[in-house]
Each structure stands twice: as C-alpha cells, then as structure tokens.
Amino acid sequence: MGKLDPRLRHLAQRLLVDRSESAAVRALAAEETELAEILIRCVGSATLQALRQQGAEIDSVIPGPYLAVSGRAPFDRLPSIAQLPGVAEIEAARPLVMDLDQSLAATRTTVLHEGDPAVTGEGALVAVIDSGIDYTHPNFRHADGSSRIRFLWDQRGPTLPGGPVPFGREYTQDDLNEALRLTTPHQSVSHTDRNGHGTHVAGIAAGNGRAGDTPFCGVAPGAELIVVAYRGEGVTIGRSTRALAAFAYVVEKARALGRPVAVNFSQGMNGGGHSGETVLETGLDNLAREPGVVLVKSAGNEQDWNIHASGTVRNAQTTAVELSVQTNNRDDDVVEIWFSGEDRISVEVETPEGERLSPVALGHRRDFLTRAGNSLFIESAVNASDTGDTRVTLILSLGSAAFIQPGIWRLHLHGDAIRHGRFDAWIERSDRSVQGEQTRFSPGSAEPSSTISIPGTARRIITVGSYVTRPADGFGAPLGQISNFSSRGPTRYGVQKPEIAAPGELIISARSAHSLEPQRPDQWHTPMPGTSMAAPHVTGAAALVLGVRPDLNCEQVKQILMRSARVDGFASTAPDNVWGAGRLDCGTAVEFARSARFPVIGGVVVRGKRVSWETDIPTTGAVRFHTHQRQLQLGKSLGSRTHLTFDTRHEVDLSDLDPGDYFLEILAFSQDNWWSLEDNQGLLLRLHIPDGETERAGVPVEDEPWVMVDGVPTPWSP
C-alpha cells in the first residue's frame, strides 16, 4: 500500500470496511462509477497488461525512464495494483476546481507534502530578492497569525543611522509580528509590495496555502523566509550593486541562524559577454561556493525579442549584422559584440540613410555624429573583463535629434586578421513599456541561441527555463511545451544553460493587496507568466533538498535537481539548451538527495608535469586545463586528461602538452556519478611545461612540488 498516495490509501482501506465512504469516493471517481481516476508511474509494457487485467482502463501512456500512465481503476483493486512489481507509484487525480496546483502536481511536489513524514522544507530558508512582499498575506503567516518571515530588508525604506543594513531599513520577525497584531499593520511596518512580483514569487517558492477557500500551496511551505525589497526605478526592478548586497545579506542572515538557504532571483539584464564574466556574476559564483547556499535565477524571457546575433567573419571579408530601430526610440541603445582575442575585427556602422561611418579598428574608440543628428560611440576593448576576448561596445543615442533614426542600421564587421572568426552580439534591454523603444536584430541577423539573461550565465548558479502547465488563453505554447519566451543557452563558452525547466506559464500564486494585479480567482491570488515564476519552483525544490541535506552546496544541489529531472513528452530532447536537464521533479530530487554522496578531493600535489590527488571514496577523475586562467574559471577548457580507474589515489601525466604555463582544475566522479570539483577556491592550480631547449640544456626541469594547505599552494617535501 506504500505506493498509493495518502488519499487513495485512506479511501482504499476505508472501502474495505465501509462502502459508505461514497461521498469521498465520488470526489475522486470518474463520473458515476466507482473507478478512481489515477496517474501511475511504472515500468515495462508487461505492467500495462497487468494493469488491464486488474480492471484498469488506460487513457494515455507517456514514455520515459518511467512510464506515466493516466486512466481509471476500481477502488477495490487499488491494493492489488499497488502490489504489481512494475508499479512504482499511484497518485490520485487532483480536483480541477481552480487549476491552482497544476505546477505542484507537474513537479511531483504534492507527494512530498503528503508523504509520511512530510517533506516541506522545514529547517531551510527561502530568500526572495525582488520587489518586496505583502507580509500580511495569509500564505506568509503561521496558523496563529504570526509571520513566517525572519527578516525583511526594505532597501527603499528610510535609512536608520547605525542600523544593521547599509541603506534602507531592516525589519525582524518580531517587528513584523508586532505590526501584525495591529488593526493597521502598515502604520508600524510601512513596507508594501506595490509591484506584486515579489509576493507572487515568494508564494510559489514558500507559500503555505492558508489563503482563500481554494488553497494554493508553494513548493516549500515549511520553510521560513528572508525577503529583500529593492527600490525600483521606473520599469527596472533593481540594480546590480544592490542585488549583490541583497545576496550577501541573506547569506549572512542564514549563517547567523545556522540554516541553509535557497535564494531566488527572478530578474536580469542583457548587457555582457554571456560567459559569466560580469562583475555581478563573479560575485554570485563566489557566493555559490558556500555549503548550505543555493542560488537560483530565472532564465529570462528574451526568446522572442531577437536580442542575440552571431556569425562568422572570414579573413579579408566582411559580415553585416542588421539592427532594426523602431520609431519613437529615444533611450540609448547599447550593443556589445564579443569575439576571440586572437582575431582582429574592425567595425563600421552604416545608418539607415546609407551614411557609412569610419571603421573602428581593434583597440580603438571613436565618437560619431550622424547626418541625422544621432550620436554613436564605438569602443573596441581588448582583453575585456580579463577574458582575453575583445568587446566592441556601440552606444547609439539621440545626440541633437528628437529620436534615434528608425530603420535598418548595419554593422559591418571586417575580418582584418582572423584565426577563429566567431562573433556574438547582444542588445541591452530598453523600456519595453514604451512602444518602439526596444531595438532588435533583424530576423535575418538574429540567432535564437544564447539568450539567457545575465546573471543567468554565471557558472555555479542554477538557471531555470519555463514550460506551460496552464496555457494562456490561446496564446503561447501548448500545454507541456517550453514557453515561447523562455530564454535559451548555451553561454558564449558553450556551457549548457538553463540547468532545468519548471512551470512558468500561467502560475497562480499570492497576490499583493497593494498591487493592481487582477484578483483571480480571488483577492488572495493572481496569475502571472514568466521564467520569474519558474525559478521559485526550483528555489522551493532546493529548500526541500536542503531541508533533508543542509550540508550541500549549490553545485551539489544542482546535480541532484538535474539528475532527477524528467525527460518525458516535449522534454524528451533534454539534455539541451532549451530544457536543460528536463522538467523539475521534486519527489525524485529529495529521494536522490537522501543518499547522494559526493567525493571529497584532497592531497593535491603538482610535481613537474604530473598532478596527483586523493579522494575519500573510489572515483575516476579528470584534469581540465587552459592557458588562460579566466577562461577556465568561466568553464572553457582547451582539453582534459582523464584517470579512468576507480581508485582513491589518482595521477595524471600532462607531459604531452605543449610547453607553457597552464591552469588546471580537477574533477572526481563517484561510482554513482556524483562529481566534485577542486579548483583552489577559484584560483585554479598551476603547472609549467618547459620547452625542449630548456631540458636539453640540463636545466633542472622538475619544479619544486607543492600541495594545497588550507587552499594555499605550499612547498612540499616527503
């Protein structure tokens, strides 16, 4: 009977005793029969036959590692069906009263909430960095009315001199509880969420479903919350400096409480090289190393906006990229073109009138004024953000004109000296509430890959795409498909993104009483679409995982979520840069988390051309290397050398590499295929391969060996 979900189990047992449970049976029954509508997870076509022999009527079968079967079965046969060896789980159909919990069913979260014992994220924290929160909403309060929010940092509140935060105002749980006891709480804690985005996101991740007659429960209803509210300016929700301060704040608070934290960040921007190299992404990757800290970000809704172009420039040839500027465009347009530092490409701009401005060569910068009166600044910067790559920035602004000249602007990329030729270009976001403000690449120039918004291209954080669990009134993608707006990977260095997909269209969650969002289906709830809504499903899932394994770090939780992801239906193409590893499956993720054991790497020694290390359990291993430190830090390698024997002692010989200085990182894979990375706390390991002349001259070539001591390379002797 353990395979039956609790409701079915209860009814099946009661039916054996007393058939007067008919009212409850009818609630789960198909029409007027005593057949239960069920979903079954099973394996093998023989199991399907066995189900039919038990009286089950099968409506549909979705293939995958497990078969997902929908249909009906007699109530009194459920115990027998549960005993079939190929059946893993039987779940009752959920009432479709308000379609409120489609996403929890889709992510197999309800089996955790209703399990014995229930898994709800208790012991973990969920942090939401966003527009704020309606702290009076019942979903963020306990049954006794007290707050589930441990800390609320309102960055836009009046700054308290000498207070615990550098700007704005911090409210503790005691402050909130004191306010909630008042008839007008906002006279005490004035914070409100007028935007509504933050309240909605928090509800998905951690709402407890106490509001309204038709409760919608979040993924981690047992977790407590930390909330940071930005000060938005116009259409922007916040700024990168305050975002990093918010992340640091929530991690500091979580450490002080001794609890793990899953942090949700449902915002982004398009400016940058999309390889994780921005300063904000560097900071977030630093933070994501900490045990008990998981960072989750929305993939972005950029897929339909033609904000990415790419192509190849050949030696002594020219490739043109077209920008489509609309009428009524007044804000600056910022375009970044990135290419390898081994290429020399100059950029020449042609206006819609056909005026051609002088080419700007590698490493130069220049201001232009077009005949139509617009200003254009072009800068070609080598070794941008220490990546070794070149970034050409174009800033197109009004100048003396009333608007930026509408029409097609052509960017002519001249291949002055080419070794690789690949380029990528992105357009920064504009105010899309103003018709015509957002410039795009023309359809012939736009490339649908690599549209993940920043900081979603950071290496360590978990980036989340959106799929449809509730189609939006005939628009958009069909049920079960990836959302049309969901941004795609990979990063510019080819790292797969997003990591995973979760429901993001349409999602009903908590509505802020101070927002103008529609009251649908009731005053407490409202629907919203976006990867903003997908990310908190994963944040809540991370909290569920951390609740049972508080020791895990972001990359370990990421592995668990990705390994447990479902690849059924439309997601059968996964793993890829659309779905990531597939659809979020919270039930399987928690199951994996309980037993996952990640290897520990130690005893690293670099001696001459060899690298050796030890692991606490038998693993295979690999050494990834690059001559460029920053590129390897961002996930790009020149190659790897492997040690394929399961052992606790490992050595890799790198003597076949060309002479030079190399940076290294070590990967260890357990027999269960969980992996760990040793990268000297981000600084990487170093190895020097001397040239043959040096060796023949009799100069000692074996470097002094060194080992890692507390993360610091230290001379070693036997």
Partner 1 sequence: MNEALLEKTDARTRRVLSQGEPGSYEALIRTASLITAEERARLEMAGFITFCVVGTVLSGAIPSSGCLDAVAELPFVEEIELSRPLYEE
- Interaction site with partner 1 (CB under 8 A): 130-131, 166-167, 195, 197, 233, 235-245, 247-249, 266-269, 271, 278-280, 282-284, 286-287, 289, 298-301, 332, 334, 365, 377, 379, 381, 384-386, 391, 393, 395, 429, 453, 530-532, 682-683
Nearer of residues 50 and 295 to partner 1, judged by Cβ:
295
| Nearer of residues 46 and 683 to partner 1, judged by Cβ | 683
Closest residue by Cα to residue 485 from 435, 520, 527, 451: 451
Q: CA angle, 608 as apex, 607 and 609 as ends, to 5°?
A: 105
């690789």: which residue's tokens?
420
Which are the contacts of 232, defined by CB distance < 8 A and separation ≥ 6? Answer: 131, 195, 238
| Shortest Å, Cβ 282 to partner 1 | 5
CB of 128 to partner 1, least distance (A): 12
Q: How far apart are CA 508 and CA 706, in angstroms?
A: 56
Whole-angstrom Cα distance, residue 367 to residue 285? 35
Q: Which is nearer to partner 1, 97 or 248 (CB)?
A: 248
| Cβ nearer to partner 1, comparing 61 with 395 | 395
The amino acid that residue 424 corresponds to is D
Contact 561, 542 (CB under 8 A): yes
Nearer to partner 1, 76 or 332 (CB): 332
| Tokens standing for residue 13 | 């047992």
Beta strands 344-350 and 365-369, pairing class: unpaired
Beta-ladder partners of 375: 369, 397
Describe the strand order of the beta sheet including 462-468 as a list of residue ranges.
Answer: 169-172, 149-154, 224-229, 125-130, 261-265, 293-298, 462-468, 500-505
**What is the torsional sign of CA 515, 521, 524, 529?**
negative
Q: Which is nearer to partner 1, 415 or 530 (CB)?
A: 530
Q: How far is the CB of 468 from partner 1 (least distance, A)?
A: 16
- How many other C-beta atoms can be found within 10 angstroms of the C-beta atom of residue 100? 23
**Distance between CA 100 and CA 687 in Å, rounded?**
56
* Nearest approach, Cβ of residue 700 and partner 1 (Å): 29
Query: Which one, 280 or 538, has the nearer CB to partner 1?
Result: 280
Shortest Cβ 616–partner 1 spacing (Å): 26
Sign of CA dihedral 254, 278, 229, 542: negative
Compare residues 197 and 650 and give the one whose CB is closer to partner 1.
Answer: 197
Of all helices (H) and strands (E), which one includes residue 136?
A: none
CB of 139 to partner 1, least distance (A): 20
Nearer to partner 1, 509 or 564 (CB): 509
3-state secondary structure (DSSP) of residue 101: coil
Nearest approach, Cβ of residue 379 and partner 1 (Å): 4
Nearer to partner 1, 333 or 585 (CB): 333
Which of residues 39 and 204 has its CB atom nearest to partner 1 in the complex?
Answer: 204
| Min separation Cβ 351 and partner 1, Å | 20
What's the min distance (Å) between Cβ of 290 and partner 1? 10
Cross-strand partners of 713: 708
Backbone angles phi, psi at 658, to 5 degrees: -65, 150
- State the nearest-atom distance from the C-beta of 391 to partner 1, in Å: 7
Question: Which residues, in sequence order, are bridge partners of residue 601?
Answer: 615
Q: Which is nearer to partner 1, 264 or 491 (CB)?
A: 264
CB of 307 to partner 1, least distance (A): 12
Q: What are phi and psi of 79, to 5 degrees?
A: -60, -40
Hey, how many other C-beta atoms are within 10 angstroms of the C-beta on 98? 17
CB 554 to partner 1: min, Å: 14
In whole angstroms, give the CA distance from residue 718 to residue 716: 7
Alpha carbon distance, N-terminus to C-terminus of the chain = 60
